[in-house]
Amino acid sequence: MSNLAININNGEKYNIDRKDFLTLGEFSSKEIHGLLKESIELKKMTKAGKNIPYLKGKVLGMIFEKSSTRTRVSFEVGMLQLGGNAIFLNSKDIQLGRGETIHDTAKVLSRYVDALMIRTYRHEVVEEFAKHASVPVINGLTDLHHPTQVLADLLTILEKKGKLSGLKMCYVGDGNNNMCHSLIEGAIKVGMHVSIACPKGYEPNEQIYLKAMKDANASGLLLEKSENLAEMLKDADVVITDVWTSMGNEEEASERIKVFTPYQVNEENCKLAKKDFIFMHCLPAHRGEEVSASIIDGSHSVVFDEAENRLHAQKAILKLLLS
């Protein structure tokens, strides 16, 4: 188990004791703020060309069942900049793809590498890897959660707005989505109000939503969901969306386009958000579907800063788990 001392804004030091990074819901507000501060410091060092090899000699094994651009490249580059190495493992190319159990795969890989990052479909897969692996396990994405992306999103909002607490985030689109789930968990933890505009039948996972609602109520924050896009978008500081059809749901694409078309983020409905709102998308995006080209390519969009911040946020996670 790693024990990383981090300075937070008031100069206080505290320790984060974690073996794995599976969901943001498992981290406290204080821990998430600490990771964000560490991300900022590592980013400053990278920009100044002063990377320190905190993870010299360490190896990250990366198992992919889902294809990736940002996740793969950012984790590989992050490990290199921290002085370590990363190994790409396509699930079809290792024995896991031929029926070897997760139990056995986790036990074997733990003898070779210092940590595992897994990008897969079922969240139970990363949970089982974490159960049986003796090294840290990082959730690079599942159908239920996308915590590494959302940590980068929070970093981006903090950079652009100068704060997190008190801001309103509006998520638009498929509420039963890994991005929406991790955004709910992460945003509430750092003091943001959250509204979700989604059609009926596409609401967030009930268990995740109710847990986040409990946290929101305890902190005096607003967490709400509605089919009414206008109500949810009103006075939003941050507008976020995602593709309407995620990997694994391709056969539903035509039906989803019909359902979600009224929820496109465009110039007209964004007039309801604050004048200085920022637009975010985890990418890849389908211009003309979930977002208009004028928004994603316009002055409010921060999607490429957001994409870059995957690198810096993940370096903080890697340093937490491996240094």
Secondary structure (H, E, C), 23-53? CHHHCCHHHHHHHHHHHHHHHHHHHCCCCCC
Measured CA to CA, the distance from residue 80 to residue 74 in angstroms comes to 10
Assess whether 235 carries a catalytic annotation: no
Six-digit token pair at 220?
Answer: 């005096």
Q: Is 281 annotated as ligand-binding? A: no
Ligand-binding site membership of 246 (annotated): yes
From 170, 180, 198, 282, the catalytic residue: 282
Determine whether the annotation assigns residue 213 to a binding site: no
- The answer to whether the annotation marks 114 as part of a ligand binding site is no
- DSSP characters for 117-162? EEE-S-HHHHHHHHHH-SS-EEEEE-SS--HHHHHHHHHHHHHHHS
Any binding-site annotation on 180? no
State yes or no: 147 annotated in a binding site: yes
Among residues 114, 143, 237, 242, which one is catalytic? 242
> Given 149, 170, 181, 314, which residue is catalytic?
149
Are 275 and 207 in contact by the 8 Å Cβ rule? The answer is no
Q: How far apart are the first and last CA of the chain?
A: 10
49 vs 218: CA distance, rounded Å: 42
User: How far apart are the C-alpha atoms of 155 and 158, rounded to whole Å?
Assistant: 5
Catalytically annotated residue among 18, 145, 146, 181: 146
- 181 is known to lie in a ligand binding site: no
- To the query of whether residue 270 is one of the catalytic residues in this protein, the response is no
Report whether 237 belongs to an annotated binding site: no
Q: Determine if residue 300 is labeled as part of a ligand binding site.
A: no
- 178 belongs to an annotated ligand binding site: yes
Task: Write out the H or E segment, with its range, that includes residue 226.
Answer: strand 223-226
Does 117 belong to an annotated binding site?
A: no
Catalytic residue among 20, 33, 114, 119: 119
Residue 174 assigned ligand-binding role:
no
* Residue 282 bears catalytic tag: yes
Q: Is the separation of the CB atoms in 238 and 181 below 8 Å?
A: no
Q: Do the annotations mark residue 7 as ligand-binding?
A: no
262 is in an annotated binding site: no
d(CA 84, CA 87): 10
Any binding-site annotation on 146?
yes
Tell me, yes or no, if 198 is annotated catalytic.
Answer: no
Is residue 323 within 8 Å of 317, Cβ to Cβ?
no
Single out the residue of 215, 74, 209 nearest to residue 148, CA to CA: 74
242 annotated ligand binder: yes
Per-residue DSSP letter, 92: T
**Which of 264, 310, 312, 314 is flagged as catalytic?**
310
Binding residues: 68-71, 95, 119, 146-149, 178, 242, 246-247, 282-283, 310
Binding residues for L-ornithine: 178, 242, 246-247
Binding residues for carbamoyl phosphate: 68-71, 95, 119, 146-149, 282-283, 310
Catalytic residues: 119, 146, 149, 242, 282, 310
